[in-house]
Each structure stands twice: as structure tokens, then as C-alpha cells.
Structure 1
């Protein structure tokens, strides 16, 4: 390798963003250190494999699998047009990571397309959410297993939101999220697998919220998400997005067996007469309706 080539490789390897190259058949030929850090996959895991083998399993906000239909890299290879889009890749540990993807064609000396490059970076919303969790004032507000807020943290945030609602009419809503078949996963695969499920769900929730929202573990396999400034329409869209992110995630057990994860969600918007107890109980009851209707769904109040 020439000195110039070594310099260029070192430069790309040390970019904060993930970068990978594919040839015209979408065979991965290069994978930088940033891609390793963001995805959890080492270069040796992916170089020499086709990106359409669905290792990263890109999905959009609705959970649609883009490698099967709507792949920006494939579109760029076809027409030579650069693209930029927000997608959600699957980390090596199974949870979803929101990324901003930019694709560009690569040409030979005759200006023929011979491949493409994809550059991707963590979306700012994910970084801000993780910064918020790390900035929780005291460890007593953090759930030790999942690293999101704990029940004390949620109670504080809900009570604060209620005060702002009553004083300034700032509406908000709650999602009550319960992992489906959690006991069966624990009984079948052990508590370590159960812990991995909870961590996976926490990552899926925390990584896909807006800057104004918070989430935490209420207890056991239950999580609560507090959404600011929502009505029934907007809370439905956000809840469906979070449900889809969880449902498109997996954990790996026994080295190679993949276990799917789903969650049932109840969505409630604050009312004038609400206390913290009444609002949480209403969202909880709506979640149980989702369970009764078949799980892996969102139920809103009428």
C-alpha cells in the first residue's frame, strides 16, 4: 500500500462517522472504525459479505425493512444520485440505533458507476437522550440494569409535568409499556436473557424519543414514557413508532438462537382531573387492553 493510500485509509478509519464501501453487486469491501463503534460489528464480520444479506437490517420509522424495499444505497447505485435519509440500524447486540445515512456513487475513470459509499452517524436525538440519562443528578434516579430513569425519577418527572399542566396548560401524555411474554423468556432462557431483553427495550425506547421526552423503568418488565405536548393523534404516532422499534429487535441466546421481542402499550393524555396515580392507572389499564387484544399493539383511550 502506498504512503498516500495509507494516509487516506488512516484518515477514514479515524472519522467519528461510520463509513463503508460496496461494489456494484453490493459486496462490502471496506468498513471503518466508526462503523465498528456505531454498529458493534467488527470489520472482519462484514467485509466480504453482501449488504443485502441484511446484517444491519435497516428499517424506517414505521419498522419497514428497507433492505427488501427502499434501500438508499441500492437506489444510488441504480441512478448515481446521492441521498440522505434517517433510518434505524440493528446493533450487534440486537437493539435499534437511529442513524442519519448519506449515500454517494463511486466512479471509474470512464465515469461508470463501480460502487457506492455509505456514511452514517448517530442521530442527535439519540446523543442528547444519552447525555440526559448520564446527567441525572444522582444515581438514585437511575435504574441500575437498564441505565434509564427509575421509578423515583419517573414520579418526579410526572409530578413536575402535572404542575406545568395545571399552571401553564402544557399538555403531556404517558405510554405504559409492558414486555410481552417476559416470564416465558425468563423461564425458558434464564434471567440473564431476561435482563438482556429489558436492556434492549430500554435502548429502543431511549434512543427514539424526542429531546423533550423521558422514559424510565417503572418496575419489573414495565416502562413508562412521558411525552410532552402531545394529543391523541401525535401520541398514537409516537407510540406506534416505539412499538415498531421494539418489535423489530431481537436478542441472541445460546450463541446463535434469536429471540424476538414485542411489547404492549397503553397511551393516555393528561386530563384536568388527573393526579399522577389516576394518569398512570389509566395508561396501565389501556396497556392491559393491548394484552387482551393479542399483544404487540398500542391501545389509546377514546
Structure 2
């Protein structure tokens, strides 16, 4: 096996990289999301990768404090990153590199699951003057990779939210059910019902309702694996087809999705707008059909009768706006 040669720069070559502006320009243009804060947690550096992942442009965050406007928070209820658990604060306090997981607040309002790595930054006297952190998306491109190659077709994609259509979800469910054997509960199905959507749309308009639905979809997707499927089942309902082979239990996942959706909202004409949701779930069983699962989910809803919106004889429309 041929040995790899280490690349060495001559002193004259290295001198070209000692210019602070050149170094800053190189770091600002790397695709990795980089952020540097000072001891007061004011953002002093923000790379193009950070702009891409967060949606926040450089001029919008430089000089701002991540304490006053927290961009990151952890995935534990009631635990904000901007306290003693903050990886940036830990790196500066302990002089050690810190590796953690959490959620980043995107400019559009949804949360992005990320891996955060923070290291202390020293001056020439070896005194800590701040911290550098990187954040890497854990589920980048979940929506883009879900399809079966034809998901961009209008028949297979909901035109408002970009997730699978009702027809596509039926196909996914039928395929999963066909693979089940007796005693196999490896697939979970969730139903997310958005309450008050019709009134919200009538009061604020179609675009406001569509923006809120898109935000909700992205938030739900951030809770799921790339192999899971989200689809719009009716105007105010979404189905989630979830792989049950995970340490997190069905009820724990349901509670986490509900918690994250409860924290979401859109800014519309200067006010924060949101809607409550109902979430029910069931495990798919051998012998189930698409109809039996959907009826079971609707019976789990408060006052549920098993009547399925979009089906003949049941009030309610199909996905439309």
C-alpha cells in the first residue's frame, strides 16, 4: 500500500495565510456551519454554512447575543441551551471541547436537529476569549429523499406542503401492511389533526394557513427518521408512517411531536399565530387494512366515530390548501 505523503508548506507559503482577512474569507466560505462568540456570548463570526443551515444572514446576527435571542436549545423539556448546559458556555468554562445534540431555530420558525461541537478560543497569551461552535444537520434533506422517484408528480405530492399525497400514503401503508407477520408491530401510524384550520384560513387567508401547515410539516419531519413518511390525509390531517424499531416508545415520540408543535407559530402581520393539534397513534397489526388503521385512529380522537374525512358519507374535504 502506498504511503500518504504529508503536505508541508514552506515558510514563504505559510506567510500568505497569516493575513487575517484571508483567513476570515476562507472560514466564511467553508460549507461547514461555523459560529464564534466572545465571552459575553455575542456572535462575532458567522459562516456561509451557518447562513445556509439557519436561514439567518451574517448581518442579521453579528453583534447580537445568543442569550437574548437563543438560536439553540436542547431536546429535553424545559432545558434551554443558554444556561449551564450550553455547550458554548461549557467549552469556555472547562477549557474542553464539548459535543452535544440539540435543535436550532431556523429563521422560518421550524426547528432543525443538529449536532453541536464547541471548542474554546484562546488569544496569544493562552487566555480564553470566546468559543467556536459548529452545527451539523442530523437529518438534512429528509423531504428531498423520501420519494420513490416519482414523488414530484402532482398525483403523489401535496402541492401545499410538499409531503406525500393521500394516494401516496395509501400506497406506502399498503406496502408496509403486506410485509407484516403475526406478532410484528414494527410499524406505527400517527394521525395529526390541526384544530381550527378552516376558521384560521377564513380569518387570515389561504397563504397564512399554507405557511403554518408547511411549518408544522417541517417540525414533524425534524422528529422523524429519514425512512419515516409524512403525508397529508385530508385538509387538516396528516398521517405519519413511522419505523417502530427505536429506543423511544410510541407514547414518548407522540409527546415529543406534540411538544415541538406546541412551541411553533408563524409571524403574520406582526403577530405570532399558531393552532393546537391533536395527535393519536396506533401500531399496525397483521391483518390490518388501510381502512381499519385509519378508522382506528379516528376513533382515538376525542368524540371519534371512525368516520374518515374524504371518504364517501363523511363530512370533510380532501387536501386542498
TM > 0.5 between the two? yes
For the residues of structure 2 that align with 1:86 and 1:115, how far apart are their CA atoms? 20
Q: Is the Cα contact below 8 Å between 1:60 and 1:66 reproduced in 2? A: no
How far 1:223 moved relative to its partner? 0.6
Query: CA deviation digits over 1:172-219, x for unaligned, max 9?
Result: 111000123323432332221110111001111223211331111111
Paired residues of 1:77 and 1:105 also in contact (CA < 8 A):
yes
Q: Of residues 276, 282, 291 in structure 1, which corresponds to 2:296?
A: 282
Q: CA deviation at 1:251?
A: 0.7
Q: 1:40 aligns to what?
A: 55
Q: Which sections of structure 2, spanning at least 5 residues, go unmatched?
A: 1-16, 305-321
The residue that corresponds to 1:223 in the other structure is: 238
The structure in which a higher percent of residues are helix is: 1
CA distance in 2, matches of 1:194, 1:163: 36
Structure 1 residues 230, 127: CA separation in 2 closer, same or farther (over 3 Å shift)?
same
1:116 shift after superposition: 0.6
Which structure has the larger Rg over C-alpha atoms? 2
Deviation at 1:34?
0.9
Q: Does 1:78 align with 2:65?
A: no
Deviation at 1:136, TM superposition (A): 4.1
Q: Say which is worse superposed, 45-54 or 259-268, in terms of deviation.
A: 259-268
Asked if residue 259 in structure 1 is aligned to residue 273 in structure 2, the reply is: yes
Q: Is the 8 A contact 1:173 1:231 kept in 2?
A: no
Structure 1: gaps (5+ residues): 291-302
Q: 198, 219, 232: which one pairs with 1:183? A: 198
Higher relative contact order (CA 8 A, sep 6+): 1
Secondary structure of the residue aligned to 2:179 is helix
The count of aligned residue pairs is: 287
TM-score under structure 1 length normalisation:
0.86
1:123-162 CA distances to partner (integer Å, 9 max, x unpaired)?
1x33345322484445121111111111111100111111
Aligned-residue Cα RMSD (Å) equals 2.5
TM-score, with structure 2 as normaliser: 0.81
